[in-house]
Amino acid sequence: MVFADSLICRECSRTSELAPAYFCEWCFGPLEVRYDYEAIAGSVSREKIAQGPPTLWRYADLLPVEASSATDLGAGFTPMVKADRLAAALGLGEVWVKNDTLNPTNSFKDRPVTVALTKALDFGIKTVACASTGNLANAVAAHAARAGLDSYVFVPSDIEPSKIVATAALGTVVTVDGNYDDVNRLCVQLDDEYPWGIVNINLRPYYAEGSKTLAFETAEQLGWQLPDHVVVPVASGALLTKIAKGFEELVEVGLVDSAEVRISGAQAEGCSPVAVAFAEGNDDVRPQKPDTIAKSLAIGDPADGYYALREVRRTGGAVAAVNDEEIVDAIHLLARTEGILTEPAGGVTVATLAKLAREGQVTEEETVVIYITGHGLKAPEVIATGDPMPIPATVDGFKAQFETQE
């Protein structure tokens, strides 16, 4: 059963019917899904969730689509790793890594996409599309293939080639001259021309709901306890806002007792409009022109930037930015302490955790969860540290190469 009953404007609170729409006709504010939480509370339970599939669809009562009709590649319920060696390296106490690199297309984007495409089928949509910095393109193309839908994914022309190799095998990739914001602007215009489901435009209210499942899994995998602090990478800002919404919903329907979680955001200095607004104490998130190796976070005009900033301040968190050198160092730190290989977005998150720890914004007494959202093999040119060391096929050859280094 679906407990979503309408769309509601975040600004004026007017409601409208569930439809492929993303802005309020009254005030042009963004729309999101509204639920009957009283009915959900009467249906959902920890026991029911535990009996569900080992995917995000175990939380179907809190999603805007019917699980039985899901376009499902197995997204969600990824590992939560207790990162003791990383914590020790950063001088922290209890740190957990939510490892979303193990989703079907190796990023968290499988979560919102499985929900968005399921809703697209509900609406009778035959073709789907997206504006992407890489990870979303792969997820949309894969899920569209699974659902038997045509797909067009639009990406900046300077995207890392490794990010779209798989995408090109799954659907149609269109490279656009310009950065992500130019690509997104084009997709908004195409929405007026074609009867497509553009997942991060006219399907955005449903698409964004998939990201809440990271909050649900965090609670369940911690024994239905919430952490003290989470650190979330910020691109559009939607991931952070939906994780915050997910924690609140868990309280609303009685699955946990309290949602007092501090939420912090992580950005790269080369694209840090939310971090700048936080540091300056502003409410306005001013657009920037991206210039960073963290291309999956390179959204200079984040659609949900204001709302992400509001959630950070409401919960007592912070937003920090780190430079490219710190990002690369953090990628290697996570790999060598916990065996998890992340793309630059994850490096941003780890480096931000380190920065917040140095500044006393994250303390040794807190239980902290960080979200690693994409696999390192999506950006091999960034994580490479040098060539392998060749030796002859002899013991003496090995000793000559390595014992002299000791």
CA distance 269 to 322: 5
**What pLDDT was estimated at residue 106?**
95
Q: pLDDT band for position 404 (50/70/90)? A: low
Name the least confident of 98-102, 121-125, 287-291, 377-381. 377-381
Give the model's confidence band at 166: pLDDT under 50 very low, under 70 low, under 90 confident, else very high: confident
Query: Domains plus CATH for the chain?
Result: 80-106+211-383 (3.40.50.1100)
CA distance 58 to 67: 9
Give 228: exposed, middle or buried? Use CB within 10 Å, 0-12, 13-18, 19+. Answer: middle
150 contacts: CB under 8 Å, gap ≥ 6 = 126, 127, 128, 144, 171, 172
Q: CA dihedral defined by 107, 111, 112, 117, rounded to 10 degrees?
A: 110
Comparing 147-161, 201-215, 229-243, which segment has the lowest mean pLDDT? 147-161
Task: Give residue 291's pLDDT.
Answer: 94
Using alpha carbons, select from 199, 176, 185, 214 the residue that is nearest to residue 300. 185
Per-residue pLDDT tens for 331-376? 999 999 999 999 999 999 999 999 999 999 999 999 999 999 999 9
DSSP for 100-136, written as a single string: GGGSTTSBTTHHHHHHHHHHHHHTT--EEEEE-SSHH
* pLDDT one-digit tens code per residue, 105-114: 999 999 999 9
Q: pTM of the entire structure?
A: 0.94
Neighbours of 173 (CB within 10 A): 20
Q: What is the pLDDT of residues 224-264, one digit of tens each?
A: 999 999 999 999 999 999 999 999 999 999 999 987 999 99
Among candidate residues 399, 30, 3, the one with its CA nearest the CA of residue 242: 30
List the single range of 120-134, 360-374, 387-401 with lowest mean pLDDT. 387-401
What Å distances lie between residue 100 and 54, 106, 260, 303, 310, CA to CA?
14, 7, 23, 23, 25
Q: Which amino acid is at 71?
A: T
pLDDT score of 83 more than 60:
yes
Per-residue confidence (pLDDT) for residue 194, from 0 to 100: 95
